[in-house]
Amino acid sequence: MALHPQCAFFLAEAAKANVPDMPTLGPHGARLIGHTPREFSGPLRDDVKISTRYITTPTADVVANIYQPPGVGPHNGMAYFHGGGWAFNYINKYDAQLQDLAARTNSVIIAINYQKAPEHKYPIPFDDCYTAFVWLHEHAEEFNIDTKKIGIGGDSAGGNLASGVAQKIRDVNQHHLAYQMLIYPCNGLDFETKSYLANADDYGLTRNNMMWLWELYLNGPQDFSDPYAVPLNATNFEGLAPAILFTAEYDVLHDDGVLYAKKLSDAGVPVIYKDYLGMIHGFFNYGSVIDEGIAARSFLVDSINQILRG
């Protein structure tokens, strides 16, 4: 399918700013230009309470937002890990999306502002995210959450973190995971896939940027075989939680998502997958200018509710 007109307009407007690419900006510069209004993702709701907590992880006290849907429960739960190449972005950029998901899936959602690379390389961001999931289980009674109905989710680098956390949850086998929600995850190190080559430039996230971001996050080749860091390099996908996964057609990460969905399915893991034709990386965050960014929430909501109904 051709690039969606709203995506084409968004990219053309962004190009007018003539912003240097990420390696030129550096982590600090990339963070500075990322402070878009919360409403850029779409309108906020007034029926979902947002509160702030601090979660003690292995290396820090890390801020987190709690999104609480209406009613006293019992509720479902989700730990959400935001995107941004492990190096930038923050939880408030996801208020619109997570308020909507909280209300429409009856879920208390915790979004943790995990520590960022390169100052905090793997496994620090990963450990923060795993700790957030455990924290939600341990505080389930406080929020009247059914511990059999707690999932995890994330987009882009957050999808990578969610994929790795799902593998650790299975391996540790101390807490139940209801599902893993993976939004165009960056799960592999093969930069020669068809989507990396076809979408290398001109569609927002570039091949060069992703190579740079992986270098910021990982410590070196010693991390390549670690499935929590590079989930596509895992050797065992059996017994993982059911997955909800979507990709964007004009995204360097498209084939990462397709291949991960296939590996999960081949291992007997239930997978609900959708490819958003004509879309670009990040469209889930652009709901005010790309309608599909809001419409995609319905796919996630319907899939989550389907899984939780059993």
Distances (CA, A) of 221 to 168, 191, 209, 215, 218: 20, 15, 19, 10, 8
Nearest Cα neighbor of 111 from 142, 177, 97 is 97
Write the CA distances from 294 to 40, 48, 82, integer angstroms. 11, 17, 16
> What's the pLDDT score for residue 78?
99
Which two structure tokens, joined as six digits, stand for 175?
């807490």
Smallest CA-to-CA distance from 294 within 69, 82, 39 is with: 39
Strands 107-112 and 75-81: parallel
Please tell me the predicted confidence (pLDDT) of residue 112.
98
Cis status, amide bond into 118, omega within 30 of 0: yes
Is residue 280 within 8 A of residue 155, CB to CB? The reply is: no
Active site residue 163: no
Distance CA 277, CA 2 (A): 8
Supply angle C-alpha 120, 123, 124, rounded to 5: 45
Structure confidence at residue 310 (pLDDT):
85
Could you tell me the pTM of the whole model?
Answer: 0.98
pLDDT (tens place) for every residue of the chain, 310 residues total: 999 999 999 999 999 999 999 999 999 999 999 888 999 999 999 999 999 999 999 999 999 999 999 999 999 999 999 999 999 999 999 999 999 999 999 999 999 999 999 999 999 999 999 999 999 999 999 999 999 999 999 999 999 999 999 999 999 999 999 999 999 999 999 999 999 999 999 999 999 999 999 999 999 999 999 999 999 999 999 999 999 999 999 999 999 999 999 999 999 999 999 999 999 999 999 999 999 999 999 999 999 999 999 8
| Catalytic residue check, 28 | no
Residue in 251, 255, 256, 303 annotated catalytic: 251
What kind and span of H or E run contains 155? strand 145-155
Which CATH code for domain 5-309?
A: 3.40.50.1820
Mark whether 156 is an active-site residue. Answer: yes
Quote the pLDDT of residue 26. 95
Annotated catalytic residue within 156, 163, 195, 303: 156
CB atoms within 10 A of CB 270: 13
Catalytic residue among 100, 255, 281, 303: 281
